[in-house]
Each structure stands twice: as C-alpha cells, then as structure tokens.
C-alpha cells in the first residue's frame, strides 16, 4: 500500500510538472509571437512531447494560454470539504487556495506574461472568465456540502458569496502581486482574505503581514 501511494504521488507530481511546462511554453510563445500565431505543435515541441500528449492536459489550445487546470479545481474542492471543522468556510477556502498557489512565487514572470497575453487577446480573456465562473460554481457547491446542504438542492446565497468573493480576492491579489515585483505574494493573498473576513472595514489594515489564524 505504501509503495502504491508513493507511486501515485510521483505520477501526480510528474503530471502537474508537465501541465505547468506546457502552460509556460504556451504563454511565452504567445507573448513573443501573439497567441493567434502559436500552434499546439509549437507548444508541444517546446516541451518535448507530442501534440497528442498536449491534449491529455488541455481540452483546447487556448486553455494553455489561459493556464486552465481542471484538476486544480477538483483539488481545491476536495480540500474545502475535508478541511477541519474548526475552520470557517472562508478559512477553509483560503487554506485550500493557498496550498494550490504555493509555487506562485517561483512563477512571477510567467503570471506577468499571462496578463499581457490576455490583454492582447480579448477572446482569451473571455475564456479565462468562463473558466473562473465554472470554478466558482464548483467551489460554491463544495462550501454548500461542507455546510451540510443536501446534494441536488440549489446552492444557497451564502456558499455562492463565499466562492465569488474568494475568487475575486485571488484574482485581485495575483494582479496586484504581478504588478508589484518587489512584493511577496502570500502576504498580499492573506491580507486580501483578512479584509474579506473583517467585512471590508472602512479603512484598510496595514498590509505586508500575514494575519494570525484563529
């Protein structure tokens, strides 16, 4: 059992590394040439895999430019449902997202280039928005499950608000961090969630320090 768990862990790490490499190649090529001039074959060649392998990770060429990762959404939803009962729904979502974004510090240039690519290609911006909306719906369902709402019931207002505000906090934190190369990401991320948890006070708290968990 232990060997199989280790093997599964290794396969998952390799899978995530390959997906990340394909997304990085796609974004860099799009930034240099324009997304419309980048083919699946060119992206695959940069990573040393076949176009067929590319489609094991992305349903559409444009998903690589947008860095859509359907597996990431599933991991976040599972983590939210499994989080300790002592955490509030927002805290559970925060921790799940923080774990998923653990390597973002090492990819600052890539996120900056991604923002440039999306700005230059409105259809990719629309695709990104659609993917985020789908993730938001799934996250709201995970929050509802955590709260004990029955499967099949329409998702209530509260889970939808938690998912929507959390998604916005992540987007704003990444955009702010991408534009401020001297700042670390995690303090910005945690400051955004602390302000949400505080109900967005009339004046912002001092940024830069991670708030203590309760």
Percentage helix, strand, coil, to 5, in the chain?
75, 0, 25
80-96 CB burial, b ≥16 within 10 A, e <16: beebeeebebbbbbbbb
For the chain, the average pLDDT equals 86
Burial of residue 14 (CB within 10 Å: 0-12, 13-18, 19+) is exposed
| Distances from the Cα of 188 to the Cα of 38, 67, 105, 210, angstroms | 33, 21, 12, 8
Per the CB < 8 A criterion, the answer to whether 89 and 146 are in contact is: yes
Choose the weakest-confidence range: 91-95, 127-131, 143-147: 127-131
Tokens at residue 118, please? 């999306």
| Distances from the Cα of 21 to the Cα of 27, 38, 57, 170, angstroms | 10, 15, 11, 22
Looking at residue 45, what is its pLDDT? 97
Percent of the chain with pLDDT over 70: 88
Give the C-alpha separation, 176 to 187, whole Å.
11
Looking at residue 182, what is its pLDDT? 65
Question: CB under 8 Å to 67, separation ≥6 — which residues?
Answer: 23, 27, 114
Question: CB under 8 Å to 75, separation ≥6 — which residues?
Answer: 96, 100
Looking at residue 90, what is its pLDDT? 95
Specify the pTM.
0.78
pLDDT digits 0-9 by tens, 157-211: 999 999 999 999 998 998 888 877 667 889 999 999 999 998 877 766 655 445 4
């Amino acid at each position: 059992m232990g060997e199989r768990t280790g093997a599964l862990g290794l396969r998952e790490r390799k899978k995530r590394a390959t997906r990340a490499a394909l997304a990085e190649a796609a974004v860099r090529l799009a930034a240099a040439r324009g997304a419309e001039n980048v083919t699946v074959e060119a992206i695959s060649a940069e990573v040393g895999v076949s176009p067929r392998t590319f489609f094991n990770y992305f349903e559409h060429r444009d998903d690589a430019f947008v860095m859509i990762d359907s597996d990431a959404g599933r991991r976040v939803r599972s983590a939210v449902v499994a989080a300790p009962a002592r955490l509030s729904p927002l805290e559970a979502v925060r921790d799940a997202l923080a774990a998923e974004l653990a390597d973002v510090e090492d990819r600052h240039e890539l996120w900056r280039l991604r923002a440039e690519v999306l700005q230059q290609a409105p259809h990719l911006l629309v695709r990104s928005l659609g993917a985020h909306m789908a993730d938001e719906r799934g996250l709201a369902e995970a929050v509802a499950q955590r709260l004990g709402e029955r499967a099949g019931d329409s998702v209530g207002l509260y889970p939808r608000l938690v998912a929507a505000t959390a998604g916005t906090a992540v987007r704003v934190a990444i955009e702010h961090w991408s534009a401020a190369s001297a700042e670390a990401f995690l303090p910005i991320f945690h400051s955004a969630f602390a302000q949400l948890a505080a109900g967005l006070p009339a004046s912002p708290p001092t940024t830069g320090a991670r708030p203590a968990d309760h």
